[in-house]
Amino acid sequence: MSRILIIGGHGKVARLLTPLLAARGDEVSAVIRNAEHTADVEGDGATAVVADVESLDRAELAALFASHDGIVWAAGAGGGDPERTYAIDRDAAIRSMDAADAAGAKRYVMVSYFGAGPDHGVPADNPFFAYAEAKAAADEHLQQTGLDWTILGPSGLTLDPPTERIDVGGESRTVARADVAAVIAAVLADSSTVGRTIEFNAGSTPIAEAVKG
């Protein structure tokens, strides 16, 4: 059993992930900004933690993370406002990594996207630019920490039913959010995924086999 804290606990992927972790006996804490979402995440099998990670400093985040074994970053500003995108997807994410290290929550899984990185190629006048820049900075920072990190790069997200199969690498296409949740659960249980960036699409390989190093 592990004690896992999910940041962005009311998001679509997070709400699919929580039941998977709870079913195998993990203790799940779901960080949510809106207290009205408490019943939702507790119905999924998590303990609700009402907190705004955008406004918490590193020490406050470390206190939030204490007693957890691992952190899953599944939050996001959702686009639109570049300033808020940088504040959450870059700055808050980076603070959470440093806080996880300070709190001893050594396992850290970042949900990024297929093609993320300093060479993302998104033009500065594209509305996606701020998100691409924020993710590049956050992912790079995570790689330089002493955490047991894994960065996941799913391609375009769909609401399709889960297939429990993916392909690693290739060209960016699409993948079901339910399969992204299953990939997160799989890497949390597989130490061979530590220190790796795994980009993936819907595919034909069973998830546990596909992510194994």
Domain with 137 in it: what CATH number? 3.40.50.720
116, burial (CB in 10 Å: exposed 0-12, middle 13-18, buried 19+): buried
pLDDT given for residue 78 in this prediction = 76
Structure-token match 């806080």, residue found: 99
Q: What is the pLDDT of residues 23-54, one digit of tens each?
A: 999 999 999 999 999 999 999 999 999 999 99
What DSSP line would sit under 108-153, residue for residue?
EEEE--TT-STT----TTSTTHHHHHHHHHHHHHHHTSSSEEEEEE
Distances (CA, A) of 46 to 7, 34, 116, 182, 206: 12, 15, 29, 16, 26
Average the pLDDT over 140-165 and give the result: 97
pLDDT at 13 over 90: yes
Cα distances from 128 to residues 69, 100, 113, 122, 135, in angstroms, run 33, 28, 12, 7, 11
The angle that helices 12-23 and 177-188 make with each other, rounded to 10 degrees, is 40
Residue among 81, 72, 74, 100 nearest 10 (CA): 74
Structure confidence at residue 84 as a pLDDT band (50, 70, 90): very high
At 17, is the pLDDT very low, low, confident or very high (cuts 50, 70, 90)?
very high
Q: For the chain, how many helices (H) and strands (E)?
A: 8, 11
Domain extent, residue 91, equals 3-211
Model confidence, pTM: 0.96
Enter the tokens of residue 188: 């949390």
Confidence of residue 213 (pLDDT cuts 50, 70, 90): confident
Mean pLDDT in the chain?
A: 96
Considering its fold, how many domains does the chain have in total? 1
Joined together, the tokens standing for residue 28 give: 């799940």
Predicted local confidence at residue 1, as pLDDT: 83
Calculate what percentage of the chain has a pLDDT beyond 90. Answer: 95
DSSP 8-state code for residue 124: T
Q: Give the single-character DSSP code of 141.
A: H
Mean pLDDT of 142-169: 97
| pLDDT, average across residues 194-211 | 98
